[in-house]
Amino acid sequence: MSVLIYAENAAGKFKKSTFEAVSYAKAIADQAGTNLIAISIGNVAADDLAALGKYGAEKVLNVSNDKLKNFVNQAYASVIAEAAKAKGADIVVLSNSFSGRGLAPRIGVKLHAGVADGAVALPVLDGGKFTVKKTAFSGKAFATVELTSANKVIALTPNSYKVVESSAAGQVEDFTVETKESDFKAMIKDIVRSTDKVSLPDAEIVVSAGRGLKGPENWGMVEELAGLLGAATACSKPVSDAGWRPHSEHVGQTGIAVSPNLYIAIGISGAIQHLAGVSSSKVIVVINKDAEAPFFKVADYGIVGDAFEVLPKLIDAVKAY
Ligand code: FAD
């Protein structure tokens, strides 16, 4: 018995959410009194693979295969499930990232495993029961689910578990899996980053704005504040629908779900569909000129005021800090 963690990389580099997931998986392995094995797919440097040991992975399986260079949902799920079978892992952990959300149910089917996606806390093992707290209804609520199957898949919400470093390096081992043609019906040929800005799903701080900003010409203030805070920029759906901002910035039920340490919402009403993607943020700051805006109900801090007056003052204050 062991725990297998899928260590996701972006362009060959592990992300912070991967280290969180490895630390989380290590804690599960410790709870179960077993060891932790990591699996990496794609071209990651040997030193980076071994460095996963710092977060608790005793062994790191390296699957380096040209066909698997870019993420392919079905094929990656097959590789991870085969590794779990080969290594006798009955718990598979991964990050509930964009790719993790696609992988978790597929791995679950292949391993006949119960799936807890969007986990936000360590499982509780009590009297033979294995329960996991997770987000439900697009982040609007939490549910505690019991996984009764022998095999289990848990996808951890980014930014909900701390990165914990221990000292040892992991032992890297090449792992080969026969891939099936049927797993490659749709493939990503190339990934080109369109920006050097902070990636929205991984951002620790997000500065987000809505229709209250009136038009795309006013986003300079949002970008300046985000730049000063090292934050990613985001927006409400109508803003991206109108073409004021790219669709990749749209957060909410039909967009990206974020869970940063700080979410600053400027001129966004706080419709339930928007909150669905941001409500697991640790601290929410709302700036809105309407004191009755629904967003204030979920805000930790609120500023009732005109964004065109508040934002320049906020930018000056951050610059002076
Ligand atoms: P508005 O509702 O127009 O609100 C603008 C806010 O700005 C107001 O609160 C106003 O008081 C404030 N304001 C105006 N001027 C200023 C100023 N000068 N200074 C400060 N504040 C000011 N929306 C999403 O965001 N994400 C989704 O994923 C999403 N999915 C949806 C899915 C479905 C099926 C449906 C039906 C809707 C979805 N929506 C989604 C749309 C959602 O219901 C809201 O319409 C949308 O979030 C509103 O965007 P907004 O807050 O930017 O605009």
CA 67 to chain centre: 25
- List, for residues 181-194, the tens digit of each pLDDT value: 888 887 777 666 66
A 10 A CB-CB count for 32 gives 17
**Model's pTM, two decimal places?**
0.78
CA-nearest residue for atom 15, ligand 1, is: 212
d(CA 281, CA 270): 14
Q: Please state the atom number of ligand 1 nearest to the C-alpha of residue 307.
A: 19
User: What six digits make up the tokens of 20?
Assistant: 């969180």
- CB distance 271 to ligand 1 below 6 Å: yes
Confidence of residue 197 (pLDDT cuts 50, 70, 90): confident
pLDDT at 247: 92
CA of 39 to the centre of ligand 1 (A): 41
Atom of ligand 1 lying closest to residue 211 CA: 52
pLDDT (tens digit, 9 = 90+) per residue, 209-236?
A: 999 999 999 999 999 999 999 999 999 9
Q: Which of 274, 310, 314 to mutate to test the pocket of ligand 1 (most atoms within 8 A of CB)?
A: 274
User: What is the distance between the alpha carbons of residues 277 and 271, in angstroms, rounded to a whole number?
Assistant: 11
Residue whose CA is at the smallest distance from ligand 1 atom 31: 273
- The pLDDT value given to residue 192: 65
Tell me the three state secondary structure of residue 289: coil
The residue-averaged pLDDT of 261-278 equals 95
Residue 140 — very low, low, confident or very high, per pLDDT cuts 50/70/90? confident
Q: pLDDT at residue 285 above 80?
A: yes
**Span of 116-120, 156-160, 283-287 with lowest mean pLDDT:** 156-160
ipTM exceeding the 0.85 mark: yes
- Give residue 174 CA to ligand 1 midpoint distance, Å: 49
pLDDT digits (tens, 9 = 90+) for 141-153: 899 999 999 999 9
Contact 23, 162 (CB under 8 A): yes
Could you tell me if 184 and 48 are in contact, meaning their C-beta atoms sit under 8 angstroms apart? no
- Higher pLDDT, residue 78 or 126: 78
Look at residue 27 and give its three-state secondary structure: helix
Tell me what the mean pLDDT of segment 201-210 comes to.
Answer: 92
- CA–centroid distance, 267 to ligand 1, in Å, is 8
Q: For residue 257, name the pLDDT band (cuts at 50, 70, 90).
A: confident
User: Which residue has the CA at smallest separation from atom 37 of ligand 1?
Assistant: 273
The predicted structure's pLDDT at residue 84: 98
* Closest-lying ligand 1 atom to the alpha carbon of residue 253: 28
CA distance 161 to 27: 10
Residue partners of 163: CB distance under 8 A and separation at least 6: 16, 19, 20, 23, 55
From the centroid of its chain, how far is CA 308?
32
Q: What does 203-239 look like in DSSP terms, one character per residue?
A: -SEEEEE-GGG-SGGGHHHHHHHHHHHTPEEEE-HHH
**Average confidence (pLDDT) over 19-41:** 96
Atom of ligand 1 nearest to the CA of 308: 18
**Percentage of residues of the chain with pLDDT beyond 70:** 98
The pLDDT of 89-118, averaged and rounded, is 96
Tokens linked to 119: 């986990």
116 C-beta closer than 6 A to ligand 1: no
From 98-102, 133-137, 185-189, 270-274, the region with the lowest mean pLDDT: 185-189
- For residue 196, what pLDDT is reported? 64
